[in-house]
Structure 1
Amino acid sequence: MKISEIKVSYINEHSAHLKASSSADAYTIALNNWDKDIIELQEEVKVILLNRANGVVGIYSLSKGGVSSSIVDIKLILSVALKAIATSIILVHNHPSGNLKPSQADLKLTSRLIKATDTVDIKLLDHLIITKESYYSLADEGRLQ
């Protein structure tokens, strides 16, 4: 009886020179990798993967949802971060409404993600909520707990 072979591959061709040393850097990186036509229409979630020097290893498009929500699967986030050998991550999602205030669901997700990443020795550096014009950083506001 044959079983499935698991292959792990990773190619870093474009992002070695980018650094996310601040929430402003992370916002710029996220916005440059976002479909500007959809940012005010449909909620999306992405994960910026970083090395020890806050160098960008890559960005992962986790999910696309509706106008007010998107599914965030913590197992997928961890699997991608581990596959990329990321030492830290930044979670980013947009609010099509333009309201940058985090919802209770955003805060609960952040708390769950901190616990999950701690388990595998990966640090959640920030959770950004973005629009075309601006962003809200949970780290900058002291809400990464």
Structure 2
Amino acid sequence: MKTALPSTELLGSSKIQIQYQRPHVNEMHHISCAEDANEVLRKYIDPAQLDVRECFWVILLTASNRVLGISEVAKGSTLGVQMNPKYIFQLALLTNAVYLIISHTHPSGNLTISRQDIELTKNIKRAARLMEMTLLDHIIITSESFVSFAQEGEL
């Protein structure tokens, strides 16, 4: 029989346990540029959804730019997506990520970086820095192409 921790008994709190096992290093994709990130994302993004609704993704990376995990963190509509940065950082902390790449889709096919996209990117970059992580890029993906904030000087 397991005994409860004193804090659990006294405060009525719950026990939290973190479990994550990274993939074998030989099976992990390596990302060295925006083109690599785009290629890896397209393996996970449903191409049938690219022109239907905006979705937001995060790529979690090791210190040597190997992919720890990729996750869709929000789904929206054709007009936009509401993304809570909290979901990105929950995953980043769970996987012990050092670097992050965020991405979202533009179903319109328009690769223009909006003012809202820039503000969100700045906020995520600032929060990452507080947690000793680095936001490497923000990529907008359409069914035809992509644009990288880092390559455009917007990071």
TM range (shorter): over 0.9
Give aligned-pair identity as a percent.
Answer: 35
- Letter paired with 1:97: S
- The structure with the largest alpha-carbon Rg is 2
2:148 aligned to 117, 128, 137, which one?
137
2:134 aligned to 123, 136, 143, which one?
123
Q: Name 2:66's counterpart in structure 1.
A: 55
Whether contact under 8 Å (1:43, 1:95) holds in the other structure is yes
Unaligned residue ranges in structure 1 (runs of 5+) = none
Q: Distance in 2 between matches of 1:68 and 1:11?
A: 36
Higher relative helix content = 2
Give the CA deviation at 1:13.
Answer: 3.8
RMSD between superposed Cα atoms in Å: 1.4
1:94 aligned to 93, 105, 109, which one?
105
Whether contact under 8 Å (2:22, 2:95) holds in the other structure is no
CA deviation map 1:112-131 (0-9, x unaligned)? 11111010010000000001
Compute the TM-score of the two structures, normalised by the length of structure 1.
Answer: 0.94
Unaligned residue ranges in structure 2 (runs of 5+) = 1-8
CA deviation map 1:18-76 (0-9, x unaligned)? 01110000000111100111110011001000001100001011010111211111122
Structure 1: 4+ residue segments shifted above 2 A: 11-17
SS at the partner of 2:82? Answer: coil
Aligned pairs, number: 144
